[in-house]
């Protein structure tokens, strides 16, 4: 989900979760990972648009988090809201939950495939579906794009070498693999290949 800032990405996700719960009978659990500074905004949007959703705001000191972990085991929540820091810090607990959706706000933070956040969420957290939310456009970097797609669709984008074969061949990319060196025709060819691979 990639819209400019202020166009309602949070509300779209709240609406999706409400729809899944009320229409499809999918009650979670849903994991929303965001910067700590915007968790209060997520809480406000859930309270305003879908107040029946049972939320756990997972943060605090070790003792507070232990208590929340006990609550989680009771299955008394639909949505867990937490920050990047606690996903990494408490991965051993959170990764035991079979998440229906993992939703990462400010998803461009996942563009570094070697970061602790990306490797933790990509390799340790089971989920049926994954969503990245971002208002930050992608740069002209295929490694960053692969990292995001690997998180979203790991069965398709398993190895970056395959991805490079598809999109970074000499007939499309410059010698450095940088799309800045490409002319307009080469860019269109690259975009067409991306669309073919990503088409449902």
pLDDT digits (tens, 9 = 90+) for 60-90: 899 888 888 888 876 688 999 999 899 888 8
29: pLDDT confidence band, cut at 50, 70 and 90? very high
- Res 160: pLDDT: 63
pLDDT over threshold 50, residue 174: no
Asked whether the predicted pLDDT for residue 176 surpasses 50, the reply is: no
DSSP 175: T
If we measure between CA atoms, which residue out of 156, 176, 83 comes closest to residue 121? Answer: 83
Pairing of strands 30-34, 79-83: parallel
Q: What is the enclosing helix (H) or strand (E) of 130? A: strand 127-132
Q: Among all chains, which residue has been given the structure tokens 């929303």? A: 32
- Tell me what pLDDT residue 162 has: 62
Pair of tokens at residue 110 = 């996942």
Residue 128 Cα to chain centre, angstroms: 12
Q: Which helix (H) or strand (E) holds 30?
A: strand 30-34
The DSSP letter of residue 80 is: E
**pLDDT value, residue 122:** 78
Q: Which of 31, 120, 18, 128 is nearest to 81 (CA)?
A: 31
pLDDT for the residue 20: 93
Q: What is the pLDDT of residue 182?
A: 57
Q: What residue spans of 35-168 are helical by DSSP H?
A: 39-49, 62-73, 84-89, 91-94, 116-124, 142-152, 160-167
Range of weakest confidence among 38-47, 142-151, 178-187: 178-187
Of 182, 177, 172, 115, nearest to 147 by C-alpha is 115
For 33, residues 6+ apart whose C-beta sits below 8 A from its C-beta are 82, 83, 84, 87, 102, 103, 104, 105, 121
Instruction: Look up residue 156 and give its DSSP letter.
Output: T
User: What is the band of 121 on the pLDDT scale with cuts at 50, 70, 90?
Assistant: confident
* 155 cis-preceded (ω within 30 degrees of 0): no
Tokens 């051993």 correspond to what residue? 92
Considering the entire predicted model, what is its pTM?
0.77
Mean pLDDT across 8-14: 87
Q: Give residue 187's Cα distance to chain centre.
A: 26
Name the more confident of 13 and 117. Answer: 13
pLDDT above 60 (res 2):
no
pLDDT band at 107 (very low <50, low <70, confident <90, very high): confident
* For range 40-54, the mean pLDDT: 92
pLDDT reading at 8 higher than 50? yes
- The pairing of strands 30-34 and 99-104 is parallel
Reduced to 3 states (helix: H, G, I; strand: E, B; else coil), residue 5 is: coil
Q: Looking at residues 20-34, what average pLDDT do you find?
A: 91
Mean pLDDT of 90-101: 90
């Amino acid at each position: 989900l990639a819209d400019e800032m202020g166009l309602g990405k949070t509300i779209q996700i709240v609406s999706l979760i409400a729809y899944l719960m009320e229409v499809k009978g999918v009650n979670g659990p849903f994991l929303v990972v965001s910067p700590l500074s915007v968790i209060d905004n997520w809480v406000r949007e859930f309270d305003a648009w879908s107040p029946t959703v049972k939320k756990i705001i997972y943060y605090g000191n070790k003792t507070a988090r232990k208590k929340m972990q006990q609550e989680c085991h009771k299955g008394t929540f639909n949505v867990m809201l937490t920050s990047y820091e606690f996903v990494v810090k408490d991965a051993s607990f959170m990764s035991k939950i079979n998440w229906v959706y993992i939703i990462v706000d400010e998803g461009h933070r996942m563009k570094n495939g070697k970061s602790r956040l990306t490797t933790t969420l990509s390799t340790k957290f089971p989920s049926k579906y994954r969503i990245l939310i971002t208002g930050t456009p992608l740069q002209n970097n295929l490694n960053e794009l692969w990292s995001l797609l690997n998180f979203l669709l790991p069965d398709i984008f398993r190895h970056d070498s395959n991805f490079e074969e598809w999109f970074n061949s000499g007939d499309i990319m410059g010698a450095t693999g940088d799309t800045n060196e490409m002319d307009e025709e080469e860019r269109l060819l690259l975009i067409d290949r991306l669309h073919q691979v990503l088409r449902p």
